Amino acid sequence: MTAQASSPRRPGRLVVLGSAGLTEGFSLIGAEVHPQADQAKVEEVLETLVREGAEALVLLETHLAHGEGHWLNRLRNEGGRILVTELPPLSAPQDYTPAVDAVVRTVLGADALQETERMTDAADSFPDIH
């Protein structure tokens, strides 16, 4: 029996595109960041990752995640080595609604998330105890 040489596996990459404030925090933990990215930059980065055969978790600020582009659409629609997800903007996290909410409502009905919303509203009505 002969030993087979295996090539060392490269670690996956954490790639963050968004506002300077958002990306700055991720740079502190060693993420590859692209501050002030626009849709063209998203497409450039995604194409590079695909062509390199990279494994990556790509975090896009909401306005970029909701954009359009060949590579963004392709990666949204296929599984594989590159996972693309979105982050809420630092300036308005309360306005963030995950895209999965629309899917849940489509599959389970318009009232599917109301129980969770009622529980959150009820919890918010309790007085703060200090």
Q: List the chain domain ranges.
A: 12-87, 97-125
Model confidence at 115, pLDDT cuts 50, 70, 90, reads low
pLDDT for residue 126 is more than 60: no
**Span 81-90, mean pLDDT?**
86
Look at residue 10 in the predicted model and tell me its pLDDT. 67
What pLDDT shows up at residue 54?
Answer: 94
> DSSP per residue over the chain, as a string?
-PPPP-PPPPPPEEEEEE-HHHHHHHHTTT-EEEET--HHHHHHHHHHHHHHT--EEEEEEHHHHT---HHHHHHHHS-SSEEEEEE--TT-GGG---THHHHHHHHH-TTTTHHHHHHHHHHHTSPP--
Measured between alpha carbons, how far is 52 from 129 in angstroms, rounded to an integer? 53
The pLDDT, as a whole number, for residue 6 is 54
Mean pLDDT confidence for 76-82: 86
Provide the CB-side half-sphere exposure for 72 (13 A, CA): 19
Q: Right CATH number for 12-87 from 1.10.132.50, 3.90.1570.10, 3.90.550.10, 3.40.50.10580?
A: 3.40.50.10580
The bridge status of strand 56-61 relative to strand 13-18 is parallel
- Count CB atoms within 10 A of the CB of residue 113: 14
